[in-house]
Amino acid sequence: MHTVEIAGSGQCYPCAPEQNLLRAMEALGQRGIPAGCRGGGCGVCKVRIEAGRYRTGKMSRACLSEAEEGEGLVLACKTYPDGDIRLRPVALLQRCLDRQRARQAASGGQE
**41 secondary structure, DSSP code:** S
In total, how many domains does the chain have?
1
- Classify residue 111: in a domain, yes or no: no
Q: Which three-class secondary structure state does DSSP give residue 86?
A: strand
- pLDDT, greater one: 67 or 95: 67
Q: What is the mean pLDDT of residues 28-48?
A: 67
The answer to whether residue 96 sits within a structural domain is yes
Asked if pLDDT for residue 100 goes beyond 90, the answer is: no
68 is a domain residue: yes
Q: Strands, DSSP E only, in the chain?
A: 2-6, 11-15, 46-51, 54-56, 73-75, 79-81, 85-89
pLDDT at 94 over 70: no
Q: Over pLDDT 90: what percentage of the chain? A: 30
pTM score: 0.74
**C-beta of residue 44 within 8 angstroms of C-beta of residue 35:** yes
Element holding 100 (H helix, E strand):
helix 92-106
Residue 97, in any domain of the structure: yes
Average confidence score pLDDT of the chain: 80
CATH code of the domain covering residue 40: 3.10.20.30
89 inside domain: yes
Domain span at 30: 2-106
Would the pLDDT of 30 be above 70?
A: no
